């Protein structure tokens, strides 16, 4: 077993946290797609789309 502490552990922990979030998000996107449902946008995605359409982007 390897034991890390300090900056190496902090960086590794952040990398693992980010990777875990990405894998979980991918899993649920594929699950929604397989179920045939239409995925909902989060409130901030909807807000960005509305703002972009008002600006003409």
10 to 16, 22, 23, 33, 50: CA distances (angstroms)? 10, 18, 20, 35, 38
Chain segment 5-31, per-residue pLDDT in tens = 788 888 888 888 889 999 999 998 888
The structural domains of the chain, with segments of one domain joined by +, span 7-55
Query: In the Cβ-directed half-sphere of 14, how many Cα atoms lie within 13 Å?
Result: 5
Which sign does the torsion angle of CA 22, 23, 25, 29 carry?
Answer: positive
- Asked if pLDDT for residue 33 goes beyond 70, the answer is yes
Rounded to whole angstroms, how far apart are CA atoms 18 and 54? 33
Q: Please give the DSSP secondary-structure letter assigned to residue 4.
A: -
Q: What is the pLDDT of residue 24?
A: 92
């Amino acid at each position: 077993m390897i034991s890390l502490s300090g900056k190496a552990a902090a960086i590794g922990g952040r990398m693992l946290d980010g990777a875990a979030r990405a894998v979980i998000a991918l899993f649920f996107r594929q699950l929604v797609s397989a179920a045939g449902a239409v995925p909902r946008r989060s409130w901030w995605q909807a807000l960005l789309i509305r703002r972009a359409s008002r600006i003409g982007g």
